Structure 1
Amino acid sequence: MINIAITGKGGVGKTTIAGVISRLLAENGYKVLAVDADPDMNLGSVLGVDTSDVIPLSENRELIAERTGSTPGKSVGGVFKLNPKVDDIVDIYGIEGPGGVNLIVMGTVDKGGTGCMCPSDAFLRALLRHLIIGKDEAIVLDMEAGVEHLGRGTAKSVDTLIVVVEPGMKSIDTARRVKNLAKDIGITKIISVINKVRKKEESDLVEDKLAELEIPVLGTVPYDQGFVEADLAGKSPLDFTEDGEGIQAIKKIERKLVSDSK
């Protein structure tokens, strides 16, 4: 089984990595659940799924009110269920995409793992806790930068955290912060993917900086104009440029993930 969350500074290409890995895992026989927990909610487009009319679970007020007993937006301190029923959510709200990938558009949990919680937070945290998987199943969680919104109560829903890093110190600083936050909530396996590399000197420099942070590098993905063109065409990169260098590099990363999970 594979249970990973993918994060990184905005613009590093983490959603592209998450979507392509999800599709590749499905092609290799895994039952894949892709969870879009990024406020930008672009995972569907990378998977090849039209989510333009989909309401994120975090904004489904009727559902959250039904399951928690309290309407989102009410004053903090109201009474609501901290462990609402969520075991049927994937079956009801999952969207099947190309290759059999099942997509859940979750939206995001408010930041602050130890602070106050509203009904929406309680619902989404319960959903994350419920996403327990078995053999030949995989969960790929595309999340915003940082891990605060997971909170201590949902750390067990993630086995491995992948930080996508591009050449640049801001991206490396984000990796450092993510590592510290992840350890605070109990995620101990933190690895990285270096993306958008134009020349070897760039990847060598980033690898050295990540080695100082003790963050292993799972693989390197070159800058691929095909990814930009796929986005402009509104297509999944796998359906647009499957033979491109970027896709081939992500295939190697996916194979390593599968090998490490056995």
Structure 2
Amino acid sequence: MSLKLAIGGKGGVGKTTITSLLARTIAQIDNNRVIAIDADPVANLAAGLGIDESTPITPVAELSDLIAERTGAKPGTMGGFFTLNPKVDDIPDRFSLERDGVKLLVMGTVQSGGSGCICPESTILKALMNHLVLARNEVVIMDMEAGVEHLGRATSGSVDALVAVVNPGKRSRVAAERIRKLGQDIGIKKIVVLGNRVKNQADEDLIRESLSDFEIIGFLPEMEEIFSADRQGVRPFDDPSTIPEAFKTIARRFLDLNVE
């Protein structure tokens, strides 16, 4: 199975929790191999996956020695020469942490030169994302910023879906429009909405009516277990067998996208 998903949404809609639970659920289905990518600088995918936060996780963008070795330039270099096609195929296995069949890889952000800079750090991140999406025969689920940072035209055609997570609040629904435009601008063909924290039929109807020109992949109800786990600082549904059927249903719908 080689499914590639990018998960986006306004801050606070629950996309990191959804990313972690989808990754864990898909790993349980037919023993799929899953790589979860933390590409949101303010997210904490490690906690959602139940990876011990006391275990050091150095973002790829901060692996200074590796970046210098692979690009031939020192991190932060804004001039001079360095390779635009660095070797990255070993990075997912060397620098990821794993639990319950899900590998976590933290991308990090480029701290200088702006989001569009051509520098060794951004070159490594883009090359790594290309490799993850185009070359890995695994399920790759990316927890993105509100936009589509790290994704470019080279990889967009191979992303099976860009998922805009929304809740009934207006601001999250407005964000879905922005996410769709960003995805369309780089050529992502399939952009879907996933409703989260839906309390009742009225909430579901509101999302359907206000985003009537979107494809809606499904809805997830508000779950007390998720709030409780967040308060306790643990991952929700720690026993994988207790993950609700609602997540399994959504996971299977995404897996079906890859075989359509």
Whether 2:259 is the aligned partner of 1:255: answer no
Which residue, 58, 62, 73 being the options, matches 1:59?
62
Distance 2:112 2:198 in 1: 31
Match of 1:40 in 2: 42
Amino acid of the residue matched to residue 57 of structure 2?
A: V
**Cα distance change of structure 1 residues 57 and 30 upon mapping to structure 2, 3 Å threshold:** same
- 1:88-237 counterparts in 2 under 5 A? 88-98=90-100, 100-108=101-109, 115-131=116-132, 132=134, 137-156=138-157, 158-211=159-212, 214-237=213-236
1:23 deviation in Å? 0.6
SS at match of 1:191: strand
1:117 deviation in Å? 1.5
Of residues 121-130 and 223-232 in structure 1, the stretch that sits farther from structure 2 once superposed is 223-232
SS at match of 1:231: helix
Match of 1:25 in 2: 26
1:158 deviation in Å? 2.1
Distance 2:136 2:120 in 1: 29
**Cα distance change of structure 1 residues 101 and 149 upon mapping to structure 2, 3 Å threshold:** closer
Gaps of 5+ in 1: none
Report % sequence identity.
45
Q: Deviations over 1:173-210 (max 9, x none)?
A: 11101111111101010011101112221221111111
Distance 1:154 1:113 in 2: 21
Gaps of 5+ in 2: none
Q: Deviations over 1:23-46 (max 9, x none)?
A: 111111211111111102411111
Distance 2:218 2:187 in 1: 24
Q: Deviations over 1:53-92 (max 9, x none)?
A: 2111111212111111122223x23322111110111121
TM-score of the two chains, using structure 2 as the length reference: 0.90
| Aligned 8 A contact 1:112 1:148 in 2 | no
| Aligned 8 A contact 2:129 2:150 in 1 | no
Match of 1:69 in 2: 72
| Aligned 8 A contact 1:226 1:240 in 2 | no
Aligned-residue CA RMSD (Å): 2.3
Of residues 230-239 and 160-169 in structure 1, the stretch that sits farther from structure 2 once superposed is 230-239
Match of 2:238 in 1: 239
1:170 deviation in Å? 1.0
| Aligned 8 A contact 1:4 1:161 in 2 | yes
**Cα distance change of structure 1 residues 130 and 149 upon mapping to structure 2, 3 Å threshold:** closer
Question: What is the count of residue pairs matched by the alignment?
Answer: 255
SS at match of 2:237: helix
TM-score of the two chains, using structure 1 as the length reference: 0.89
Amino acid of the residue matched to residue 152 of structure 2?
A: G
| Aligned 8 A contact 2:157 2:189 in 1 | no
1:224 deviation in Å? 1.3
